[in-house]
Amino acid sequence: MAAPLKAVDGNADLQALMSDLATRARAAARVLALAPPEQKNRALEAMERAIRSNAAAILAANAEDVAEARASGNATSSFIDRLTLTPARVEGMAEGIGIVRGIADPVGIITESWQRPNGMTIERVRVPLGVVGVIFESRPNVAADAGVLCLKSGNAVILRGGSDSFRSCRAIHECLGQGLREAGLPEAAITLVPTRDRAAVGMMLSGLNGAIDVIVPRGGKSLVARVEQEARVPVFAHLEGVNHVYVDASADLAMAKAIVLNAKMRRTGVCGAAETLLVDRAAAGNNLKPLVEMLIEAGCEVRGDDAVQKTDARVKPASEDDWDTEYLDAIIAAKVVDGVDGAIAHIQNHGSHHTDAIVSADEAAAKRFLSEVDSAIVLHNASTQFADGGEFGFGAEIGIATGRFHARGPVGAEQLTSFKYRVHGTGQTRP
């Protein structure tokens, strides 16, 4: 087995490092594409054990990352929340690996089969994408999620984590490497770029001379914008989560309060957090004030239009920019709209096609909302915080794809495959 890559601190050897890394990943992808499900599952089982047995080391590494971020003086509370690992979150990583191990292996599945009049049989079969490049920022658990999902789907992956989570990602990656070794799979199947040098990102976006087949960005608006601008390979777009909760006139107020509070305040720094509250004008007299007061008393700043400002003196005026902002913090924009038509129009003008929810007892209104809101995830009477691959039963996610090509919504193992056609003949020739 090749010697493990060493960390670098400068640019002198970066090009050679990344080239070597790409060569190894490409070779590993060829092995993984043919690896039987049992071997991949052995690796996942060993990774799950390693995460649990090395939890203390992972938490210690993470504590150093968090301390460094706090000392910088620039980290927001939501950033610290995304960066921080707890015993429960480490256990959640391990549980997620177990769930991924238990799902059906997508590689080799025949999705369609038909016979032509000339007797040939054509099959459409799932195959891995090849080498996936994942560029992410503060959340270190992405290293585990992306690594195990790519393994399950027969892909090699090159992980470039944020500099803020560098130590945490290394500790997690060591556990993933242990699982690969125990199962006899190449360690380069899950590669962590061993440097904080930002130039490595540009090299990945170039495709590393054809080694990377697809890029997945997991981070803020500036990262995604850079990836989409510079990438020379296909991108699974993961745009910001400007997510809405629309409270219809028919909504049960107690249900609406529970959903809105959870959607905004459960974890404000995740991409599934609600950023805008829309309230039907027809029932605003009954619903608006309780919703606004609940949010403010929970520690959430409310920025509203004129109607919302009149309900509570603590509401701040909303600017035009507020309707397009992903706060990732305890701030929400609130607006009164004219029914489901007004809600759909607002989301169409200001949404990011990520996740939007309606709270309604009117099935016709809910059906219209679910049909006409063009987002990757739309929910009826449920919190936007369910925008998560684990909650969809995928075990984990590599991101929430907001584009319209290939994958959309939570990207799990199945979404990390493409397909090819297998044609079976009995000597047919074309006239």
The pLDDT, as a whole number, for residue 357 is 97
Q: Summarize the confidence of residues 411-419 as an average pLDDT.
A: 92
Q: Summarize the confidence of residues 77-86 as an average pLDDT.
A: 91
Q: How much is the CA Rg of the chain, to the nearest whole Å?
A: 23
Tokens 């799902």 belong to 103
Cα dist from 404 to 163, 298, 375, 391, 394, whole Å: 30, 36, 10, 22, 20
Kindly report which listed range (198-207, 286-295, 336-345) carries the lowest average pLDDT score.
Answer: 198-207
CA 44 to chain centre: 20
Residue 7 has pLDDT above 70, yes or no: no
Q: Which neighbouring-strand residues pair with 51?
A: none
The pLDDT, as a whole number, for residue 350 is 97
Integer Cα distance of 160 and 152 in angstroms: 19
Residue 4 has pLDDT above 50, yes or no: no
Integer Cα distance of 263 and 272 in angstroms: 8
Cα dist from 385 to 30, 72, 191, 370, 392, whole Å: 37, 30, 30, 17, 11
Q: DSSP code of 359? A: E
Q: DSSP code of 309? A: H
The pLDDT, as a whole number, for residue 6 is 47
Amino acid (one-letter) located at 300: C
Q: Summarize the confidence of residues 380-405 as an average pLDDT.
A: 87
The pLDDT, as a whole number, for residue 11 is 58
Tokens 């052995």 belong to 42
Residue 365 has pLDDT above 50, yes or no: yes
Q: Which neighbouring-strand residues pair with 379?
A: 357
Kindly report which listed range (31-40, 392-401, 421-430) carries the lowest average pLDDT score.
Answer: 392-401
Integer Cα distance of 188 and 18 in angstroms: 12
Specify the DSSP element, H or E, that contains 215.
strand 214-218
Task: Quick: pLDDT tens for 213-244.
Answer: 999 988 777 887 888 889 999 988 777 899 99
Asked whether the beta carbons of 425 and 418 are under 8 A apart, the reply is no
Specify the DSSP element, H or E, that contains 112.
strand 110-115
Question: Strand 274-280 and strand 377-380: pairing?
Answer: unpaired
Tokens 């006899």 belong to 184
Task: Quick: pLDDT tens for 249-303.
Answer: 999 999 999 999 999 999 998 889 999 999 999 999 999 999 999 999 999 999 9
The pLDDT, as a whole number, for residue 403 is 79
The pLDDT, as a whole number, for residue 94 is 96
Q: By C-alpha distance, which of 40, 155, 164 is closest to 101?
A: 40
Q: 139 or 46, which is more confident?
A: 46
